Amino acid sequence: MDYKDAIRTIPDYPKPGIMFRDITTLLGNPRAFRRAVDEMVQPYAGLKIDKVAGLEARGFILGGAVAHQLSVGFIPVRKKGKLPHTVIGEDYDLEYGRDRIEIHIDALEKGERILLVDDLIATGGTAFAGIRLLERAGANIVGCSFVIDLPELGGADKLRAIGKPVTALVAFEGH
């Protein structure tokens, strides 16, 4: 199966010149979804992983499935103001402005081994913020798993430069 065939590309979204890689078509294809989850799990099968952290929002879908396959807990990494209990957060820069992600203060125990999951790695800003946030909470990030890498934007290389293993199922050239 070619993942590129299972992922829809929407030109000029959210702005002109961007090729949006939409995994909802992959998620709607039972064989592609199952294979993607299995392949995201495979590099980490047999390693000690305590929890999977999924970045909002598509990282929840994938991360929950990966956590299930690994028989571990799941940590939702949410946008600001979405969690009902006491949180810790991390601010990060966007192309135009700033954003914040948060986790509950009791989402993990110090020293737990965490796998970070999202649908796509582009510039790495959100993933980098997620790593900083989880590490501040006491996590040991053992890997970062994505369906899509946009290598020209350099996010995966930034994560590798700080010593984080990165896996992706497919790479798309361009933005």
Of the candidates 58, 78, 90, 112, the residue annotated as catalytic is: 58
153: left (phi over 0), alpha (psi -120 to 50) or beta: alpha
Q: What is the DSSP letter of 42?
A: G
Show the tokens assigned to 42: 């495979």
Catalytic member of 31, 39, 56, 95:
95
Active site residue 136: no
Q: Report residue 149: phi and psi, to 5°.
A: -115, 135
Q: Tell me whether residue 58 is one of the annotated catalytic residues.
A: yes
| In 71-144, alpha helices (H) | 125-136
Tell me the C-alpha distance between 46 and 11, whole Å: 40
Q: Is 29 exposed, middle or buried (0-12, 13-18, 19+ CB in 10 A)?
A: middle
The SS3 of residue 10 is: strand
- Which sequence positions are flagged as catalytic? 58, 95
